[in-house]
Structure 1
């Protein structure tokens, strides 16, 4: 079974992260499959909009446990290459030429928050929870940081990056990470309402409007490639650092890192 399922309903492409048994956590397969699906719909002139969601109870819980175990024992160079693959996924989603809608059906942690931030429109179920909890592992949300900061602003990001706290859908809406929060039973109708609005715009104008907004926000795909290189190097260095190794080992072994003992 693929880690990501791509289906088309008329002119809308639906991308379903399909690893519900691990809350749609990232591993190499999900990153590769989601990147490929994004590239495919971006090149398809019949696609007018893209909806991203998760199977089961969660949107995406961030990094997969076994994937993290492998990265904890990998070299700094391997960690850098791994981080660049995740960075490319985020960059491709951010600059996808079609309007994108995040259908946040449940928890979004770590990289899952990055995916939400990279979508043009985000609608969340009321029970959804969010967190940028990397500091609890001795790490930082490096590759997703430009997109999260663009979505919620520097002031909110500073708090959430350093506390790692969990926050709810209402807080996510107030800070701009999501645009609308609805009861779970109203999530699908809310997404459909937005898709209805998107069908009324000219596809060329929508593509240019998206490019305009990003450019006015000083964010271009070319500039982000350099930022991604720097952030991938940062997270790779932290993963192999003493504190990063301590935090990752404690998490994987269900223990406490040194700074909590």
Structure 2
């Protein structure tokens, strides 16, 4: 499909693999765009019943690529705002797909990798993998519509721990908290996800799609209201980070 995203199919199951082959599979603007297009390709797909999404062989994703060129510097304010909202669109497109979506997580899922994974229906994680949400350490807010999804999964107190303490979360802890649904042996997350996908593929897709839509509507009724401004907040937090860096430079 693209240089970083491949889609393979087996009956009613699709496996989407994204692999930048660098920087532990970090999301840059190109990868986000490619995954948006991959998600869109399933919107009118009436044959696929379950979709497994996985990253490169050594990592699900190390998050946003901090060394990627900031294309927004050359854009108008309205274009820059649209670009900074790409992660929100990515997660929303995948969250709204009619098929059951399953993240197969190996290695690590950091920042944006966590945000994308929890936008899917289920998560299967290798027992030697971990989650890590480091944004506050860098002086950033958490965006991509992450916070309402995180609170829905683990509750407000644990959402604060996950997003404010900047601590790695093991697969066992993530399972205990309800952030993942299955834990697998190392390098077996895709196989574990396949078991769930095969079970779903056995069922009539119409009631499956209706039930998924009903659950998403009930659980996520306020998701957009709770996160509509997180891309704008990212611009603001970036401004403060730049100001702090400038003051530290001037003071040294």
Once residues 212 and 135 of structure 1 are traced to their aligned partners in structure 2, the CA distance between those partners, rounded to angstroms, is 34
1:238 aligns with 2:237: yes
- Measured after TM superposition, the shift of residue 80 of structure 1 is 3.0
Once residues 196 and 189 of structure 2 are traced to their aligned partners in structure 1, the CA distance between those partners, rounded to angstroms, is 11
Contact 2:126 2:184 (8 Å CA) reproduced = yes
Contact 2:72 2:79 (8 Å CA) reproduced = no
Aligned residue for 1:70? 70
Once residues 72 and 133 of structure 1 are traced to their aligned partners in structure 2, the CA distance between those partners, rounded to angstroms, is 23
Aligned CA RMSD, in angstroms, stands at: 2.4
Residue 205 of structure 1 aligns to a residue whose secondary structure is helix
Contact 2:13 2:198 (8 Å CA) reproduced = no
Query: TM-score with structure 2 length normalisation?
Result: 0.88
Contact 1:123 1:190 (8 Å CA) reproduced = yes
Residue 122 of structure 1 aligns to a residue whose secondary structure is strand
Once residues 225 and 187 of structure 1 are traced to their aligned partners in structure 2, the CA distance between those partners, rounded to angstroms, is 30
Aligned residue for 1:31? 32
Aligned residue for 2:108? 107
Aligned residue for 1:214? 216
Contact 1:124 1:182 (8 Å CA) reproduced = yes
Number of residue pairs aligned between Structure 1 and Structure 2: 246
Query: TM-score with structure 1 length normalisation?
Result: 0.85
Aligned residue for 1:141? 142
Once residues 189 and 137 of structure 1 are traced to their aligned partners in structure 2, the CA distance between those partners, rounded to angstroms, is 35
**1:89–1:136 Cα change, 3 Å:** same
**1:71–1:170 Cα change, 3 Å:** farther
CA deviations over 1:6-61 (Å, ceiling 9, x no partner): 22222112111111322111111111110111110121111111110001200011
5+ unaligned residues in a row in structure 2: which ranges?
none
Once residues 79 and 176 of structure 1 are traced to their aligned partners in structure 2, the CA distance between those partners, rounded to angstroms, is 35
Aligned residue for 1:254? none
Once residues 151 and 74 of structure 1 are traced to their aligned partners in structure 2, the CA distance between those partners, rounded to angstroms, is 38
**1:56–1:185 Cα change, 3 Å:** closer
Q: 2:192 aligns with which of 186, 190, 193?
A: 190
- Measured after TM superposition, the shift of residue 195 of structure 1 is 1.5
Once residues 82 and 212 of structure 2 are traced to their aligned partners in structure 1, the CA distance between those partners, rounded to angstroms, is 29
Residue 41 of structure 1 aligns to a residue whose secondary structure is coil
Once residues 149 and 171 of structure 1 are traced to their aligned partners in structure 2, the CA distance between those partners, rounded to angstroms, is 16
CA deviations over 1:167-202 (Å, ceiling 9, x no partner): 111111111111111111543432221122112222
Once residues 107 and 185 of structure 1 are traced to their aligned partners in structure 2, the CA distance between those partners, rounded to angstroms, is 12
- Measured after TM superposition, the shift of residue 226 of structure 1 is 4.9
- Measured after TM superposition, the shift of residue 151 of structure 1 is 2.1
Once residues 74 and 174 of structure 2 are traced to their aligned partners in structure 1, the CA distance between those partners, rounded to angstroms, is 34
Once residues 78 and 209 of structure 1 are traced to their aligned partners in structure 2, the CA distance between those partners, rounded to angstroms, is 37
Contact 2:147 2:227 (8 Å CA) reproduced = no
Contact 2:49 2:201 (8 Å CA) reproduced = yes
Once residues 240 and 39 of structure 1 are traced to their aligned partners in structure 2, the CA distance between those partners, rounded to angstroms, is 33
Q: Please, which moves more after superposition, 9-18 or 185-194?
A: 185-194
5+ unaligned residues in a row in structure 1: which ranges?
251-256
